Chains A and B, each alone.
Chain A
Amino acid sequence: MNPVIAVDNLRVRLGKREILKGISCRLGASGVGKAIGLLGPNGAGKSTLIQTLLGFHKPSAGAAQILGFDCHRQSLEVKTRIGYMPENDSLIADMTAVAFLRLMGELSGLPAAAALEKAHETLFHVGLGEARYRNVGTYSLGMKQMAKLAQAIIHGPELVILDEPTNGLDPAARQRMLVLIKEMKEQHGMNVLLCSHLLHDVEQVCDEVVILKDGQIVHQCDLVAERQANKRFVQLQVSGDDRNLGAALREIGAEGVSEAPGTWRIVLPVEIEVNALWRISARENLRITKLAYRRDTLEEIFLKAVGHLQPSPQPEVAHGRI
């Protein structure tokens, strides 16, 4: 299946600084609604990558393709197939929402009558139906975010690029936005590239994640597979001298990492029962204060990728396969 976004050794230089330093990845699958999360600390190059995909920056080397079209050389073909919701306030303030969306629809290639119909339809879809004849400039922040989402999807694009869509939203509006994004991929078959600092949002809606740091991809993972693999993680809290616990775990074929004094993250092989941990603790004279199965959350994946957290023990190592 063809990827939605294919980036090959992409380098982008803005002024004297190289922002993207030769990144390569293949994301999404054409024709299948998938959401891809784009994460990274500030200054990692997320916005530059998005802007390069939109054809705003010329790559200094390498290439980026969306749905098989080169983002720079075939930018008009690309732009016909994508919708973009910018991060900052980006609206035509002195227009009603209907007129604004109709103009955006027509510029995307919709005939005038269809654009008007879609404008109403999309505004109702994002929850602005009652306010659609108000000037966009009079909208609240949450309504503006919804209007920006509406203009990004009015023409039914194959790929929607959302830059911080939940910025400034209250919890209810944020939840509504996430539901809309989920619907976009699950019900309407759109691919979504979601750039956000809110890891919980990404975790809720995304199927794949790419983490950028210093203009390079430091981690790329399939979140669904990652979640399944991480079911064997156990979090253990003990009191007492746990210096020998690591060695004891290795004896039974498990692997553990001490996150903090008395706190361990353990990968338990399938054939080993949790009871083994009680036995080891008793042998090492440790008192278990907490034992819980836990997922390797996206936050941990992110922190590990950007180097702020010790890497998790690998399940394969625990099995003794490597």
Chain B
Amino acid sequence: MAVFKRGYQRYDGPLTGPVTRFLAVPRFVWPKLLGQRFVVILLVLSLFWPLMCAGFIYVSNHADLLPSLGSGGDDGIRKMLAIDGKFFAIFMNVQSTFAILLAAIAGPGLIAPDLANNALPLYFARPLSRWTYIGARMMVLFGVLSLVTLIPGLFVFIMQASLASTAWLQANWYLGQGMVLGFLLYIVMVSLIALTCSAYVKWRVVAGALVLAFFFVLAGASQIINQVLRVEWGSLLNPGFAIYTVWCALLGVEPTDDAPGAWDCFTVLLLMLGALLAVLLRKLRPVEVVS
């Protein structure tokens, strides 16, 4: 029977599990995000570097072809073509730039409209806690940011593993593990920054600019502290530096001399994430209480 003829009846069927309900949010948001022109352009641009890396990996694994191309085959070139932790650190660094840009475009539209439209009571009057709401919104960014970080990264790693010998995989499996962990930490950090900016700034453009400013301003502040106080620990305030140091540790790359260590950077990142989460939770209330 047609819906308009049937009339309203109370639903008495089975309900979905409470854990999976929040997945409805990203399912509704993703198609909208992927329909935005800037998001599509960024996604396409973000593929170039992984493709170049894939080409590099191909050449690296076919180094015996180089003499025939007249390039010689000395150890220097072979060393330059090695697929090691440094290669993946550079790969992650480049892709992370696209991730920040994507977060700056996609993030501001996630919470600000709910606050502007006073929609939070509708969410929180349903079986959805503040944590689940944040989880649902982070899932949106996780999906989008994975397209430029985790998925191309895994593609590059799997390509190298399939072209190289089994011995390479046995010796370097930690690179894949480190890359996944590093990108996960990075996605969580960028997502929380984007969501917090979205929760506090109503205008999307301003919120997007704030996401970018978060990285640039803190990087500048950390340099000022280092120069004025003639210390190195100021770099801890630079989230870009901190995450790169953690990545280097996960990928077995030599750290920079005198700079703060990976554990220090990791601790600072955790504190930063905790602070962002606390600030976000403070803003996400179903009703404003005026004391």
Residues of chain B with a CB closer than 8 A to A106's CB? 16, 21, 24
Tell me whether B3 and A94 are in contact (CB under 8 A): no
Q: In the bound complex, do residue B15 and residue A109 qualify as a contact, i.e. CB atoms below 8 Å apart?
A: yes
Determine if A23 is an interface residue (Cβ-Cβ < 8 Å).
no
**Listed residue (B6, B11, B129, B285) with the most chain A CB atoms within 10 angstroms of its CB:** B11
- Give A136's nearest chain B residue, CB to CB: B117
Q: CB-CB contacts of A19-59 with B at 8 A, as 1s and 0s?
A: 00000000000000000000000000000000100111100
Summarize B's interface: helix, strand, loop or mixed.
loop
Asked whether B113 lies within 8 Å of A92 as measured between CB atoms, the reply is: yes
With an 8 Å Cβ cutoff, the count of chain A residues facing the other chain is 51
In whole angstroms, how far apart are the Cα atoms of A82 and B242 in the complex?
Answer: 46
**CB of A195 closer than 8 Å to a CB of B:** no
Check: A125 CB closer than 8 A to any chain B CB: yes
**B44-52, B118-126, B139-147: which lies at the interface:** B118-126
Interface residues on B, range: 35 or more
Please state if B117 and A91 are interface contacts (CB–CB under 8 Å).
yes
A4: Cβ under 8 A from any B Cβ: no
Q: Distance in Å from the Cβ of B36 to the closest Cβ of chain A? A: 12
Chain B residue nearest to A150 (CB atoms) is B8
In the complex, what distance in Å separates the CA atom of A124 from the CA atom of B8? Answer: 8
* A:259-285 near B, CB below 8 Å: none
Chain B residue, CB-CB nearest to A92? B119
Q: Which residues of B contact A129 (CB under 8 A)?
A: 4
- Between B21, B24, B114, the greatest number of chain A beta carbons within 10 A of the residue's beta carbon is seen for B24
Tell me whether A110 is interfacial, beta carbon within 8 Å: yes
**Which residue in chain B gives the minimum CB-CB distance to A152?**
B125
Q: Are A90 and B128 in contact (CB under 8 A)?
A: no
Query: Contact string, B108-136, partner A, CB cutoff 8 A, digits 1/0?
Result: 00000110011101111111110000000
Which residues of B are interface residues toward A (Cβ below 8 A)?
Answer: 3-4, 6-16, 18, 21-22, 24-25, 28, 113-114, 117-119, 121-129, 285-287, 289-291
